[in-house]
């Protein structure tokens, strides 16, 4: 007896929600093993400056703890200890804090909590792709408002695009991939619109700038943070948000009970207990960021932008950024290239250890000598 699966697959396809097939594709970074195969470079020789990951890794105390952790037990669905420690870290009560499976999950939850199909989200482009992704997934409409020439949010343009269907404004500060912060003056003006403002402070520890205290005074402000970058926990997927209590209470009701796994919760607690160690690495990365920024300015075809995060964005002049990306990759150096109209001539380079900067600069110097 033979069965033909094709008709079943077709039947399912016909049943998809239209917004699912209309999704723009998100191009994620590739795992080291895949990069190694693609470019013929041994995995241990790859210099990974494409994911804004922490080259110093997580706290050694996290490693030790995870080796002994009782993984056969379900994690605390209310994240009690993590929220207790986070409350002290952020200076707001634990009732304002919700943890997510990466701050990505919190973007998803906030959108699903507030956006009705057909309603609009303002996205200050170029910026982090997940705001667009989750809005489309929820059947919402993304209104892209271009930033100005220095990548600052164009406050007047944002205000001009608000209509009766607009619900959420996403702001990454510092912005990814451009690295620039957001002024509190601009934030104040944007909060006065009454839109729900989701301020993404994924790089807070590198910028030292935060609007968390404003959450107590603004019921339309949400601040998102993550342990992926400063704490070196990208692989464990854990982020958190600071919310006005009416929002945090509703989020508790819609989140998956075990959204943050046990390893991630322990890692959060241990990271906060070892914050001094992690902050020392943050200081190293900030110093290296400044050195990298200056050195990139010395490469004839690069125009680096000042950054308050753990990466430096560069515009490429006189040659194609895609070609520079490929030429670096062939030498084992991975940086981020975005094939979108606003970013096609740019590269985002994560800050690594000093030796990673050296390898990058040597490769760029060699590329400089080649014909464009
Ligand atoms: C990296 C990043 C995140 C994602 O954080 P996760 O906690 O790893 O999901 C969110 N926002 C911005 C702007 C980022 O760059």
pLDDT in tens, 61-82: 999 999 988 899 999 999 999 9
Ligand 1, atom 6: closest residue by C-alpha: 102
Q: How far apart, in Å, are the Cα atoms of 113 and each of 54, 167, 197?
A: 31, 11, 14
Burial of 127 (0-12, 13-18, 19+ CB in 10 A): buried
Give the confidence band of 2 by pLDDT, cuts at 50, 70, 90: very low
And the tokens for 245? 């209590």
Q: Which residue has the tokens 């999950």?
A: 105
pLDDT in tens, 224-263: 999 999 999 999 999 999 999 999 999 999 999 999 999 9
Question: Given ligand 1 and candidates 200, 209, 350, which is best to mutate, with the most ligand atoms within 8 Å of its CB?
Answer: 200
Integer Cα distance of 3 and 98 in angstroms: 48
Query: Across residues 28-57, what is the average pLDDT?
Result: 94
Query: Across residues 175-190, what is the average pLDDT?
Result: 98
Query: How many angstroms is it from 176 CA to the middle of ligand 1?
Result: 9
Ligand 1, atom 14: closest residue by C-alpha: 202
Is the pLDDT confidence value at 11 over 70? no
pLDDT of residue 78: 96
Query: Across residues 275-279, what is the average pLDDT?
Result: 98
Question: Given ligand 1 and candidates 104, 107, 260, 307, which is best to mutate, with the most ligand atoms within 8 Å of its CB?
Answer: 104
Integer Cα distance of 211 and 152 in angstroms: 17
Ligand 1, atom 11: closest residue by C-alpha: 202
Cis peptide before 238 (omega within 30 of 0): no
Query: Across residues 201-213, what is the average pLDDT?
Result: 98
* pTM of this structure: 0.94
Check residue 171 and give left, alpha or beta (phi > 0: left; psi -120 to 50: alpha). Answer: beta
Q: How much of the chain exceeds pLDDT 90, in percent?
A: 89
3-state secondary structure of 107: helix
Check if 102 has its Cβ closer than 6 Å to any atom of ligand 1.
Answer: yes
Integer Cα distance of 293 and 169 in angstroms: 30
- The average confidence (pLDDT) of the chain is 94
Cis peptide before 177 (omega within 30 of 0): yes
Rounded (to 5) percent helix, strand, coil in the chain: 45, 15, 40
Query: Across residues 44-48, what is the average pLDDT?
Result: 95
pLDDT of residue 4: 53
Give the confidence band of 23 by pLDDT, cuts at 50, 70, 90: confident
Q: Which candidate, 307, 269, 290, places its Cα nearest to that of 354?
A: 290
pLDDT of residue 1: 45
Strands (E), the chain: 47-49, 97-100, 120-125, 141-146, 166-172, 196-200, 221-226, 239-242, 302-304, 311-316, 333-335, 346-350
Specify the ligand 1 atom closest to the Cα of 128. Answer: 13
Query: Across residues 90-101, what is the average pLDDT?
Result: 98
Angle between helices 321-330 and 354-369 (to 10 degrees): 120
What is the gyration radius of the CA atoms in the chain, in angstroms? 21
pLDDT of residue 29: 83
Check if 200 has its Cβ closer than 6 Å to any atom of ligand 1.
Answer: yes
Is the pLDDT confidence value at 8 over 70? no
Burial of 152 (0-12, 13-18, 19+ CB in 10 A): middle
Question: Given ligand 1 and candidates 239, 308, 350, which is best to mutate, with the most ligand atoms within 8 Å of its CB?
Answer: 239
Is the pLDDT confidence value at 10 over 80? no
Say how far residue 221 (Cα) sits from the centre of its chain. 18
């Amino acid at each position: 007896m033979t069965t033909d699966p094709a008709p079943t697959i077709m039947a399912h396809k016909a049943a998809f929600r239209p917004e699912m097939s209309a999704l723009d594709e998100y191009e994620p970074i590739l795992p080291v093993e895949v990069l190694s195969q693609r470019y013929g470079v041994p995995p241990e020789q790859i210099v990974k400056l494409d994911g804004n990951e922490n080259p110093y890794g997580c706290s050694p105390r996290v490693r030790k703890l995870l080796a002994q952790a009782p993984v056969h037990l379900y994690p605390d669905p209310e994240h009690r200890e993590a929220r207790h420690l986070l409350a002290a870290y952020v200076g707001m009560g634990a009732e304002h804090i919700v943890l997510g499976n990466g701050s990505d999950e919190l973007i998803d939850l906030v959108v699903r909590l507030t956006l009705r199909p057909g309603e609009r989200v303002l996205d200050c482009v170029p910026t982090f792709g997940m705001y667009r992704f989750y809005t489309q997934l929820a059947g919402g409409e993304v209104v892209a408002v271009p930033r100005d020439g220095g990548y600052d949010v164009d406050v007047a343009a944002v205000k001009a695009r608000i209509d009766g269907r607009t619900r959420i404004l996403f702001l990454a500060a510092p912005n990814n991939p451009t690295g620039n912060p957001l002024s509190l003056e601009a934030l104040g003006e944007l909060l006065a619109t009454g839109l729900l403002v989701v301020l993404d402070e994924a790089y807070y520890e590198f910028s030292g700038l935060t609007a968390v205290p404003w959450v107590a005074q603004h019921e339309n402000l949400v601040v998102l943070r993550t342990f992926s970058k400063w704490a070196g926990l990208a692989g464990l997927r854990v982020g958190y948000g600071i919310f006005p209590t009416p929002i945090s209470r509703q989020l508790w009701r819609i989140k998956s009970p075990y959204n943050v796994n046990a390893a991630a919760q322990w890692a959060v607690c241990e990271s906060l207990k070892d914050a001094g160690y992690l902050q020392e690495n943050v200081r190293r990365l900030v110093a290296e960021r400044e050195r990298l920024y200056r050195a990139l300015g010395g490469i004839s075809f690069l125009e680096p932008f000042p950054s308050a995060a753990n990466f430096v964005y560069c515009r490429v002049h006189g040659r194609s950024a895609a070609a520079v990306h490929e030429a670096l990759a062939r030498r084992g150096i991975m940086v981020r290239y975005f094939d979108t109209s606003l970013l096609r001539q740019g590269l985002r380079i994560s800050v690594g250890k000093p030796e990673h900067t050296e390898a990058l600069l040597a490769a760029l110097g060699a590329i400089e000598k080649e014909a464009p």
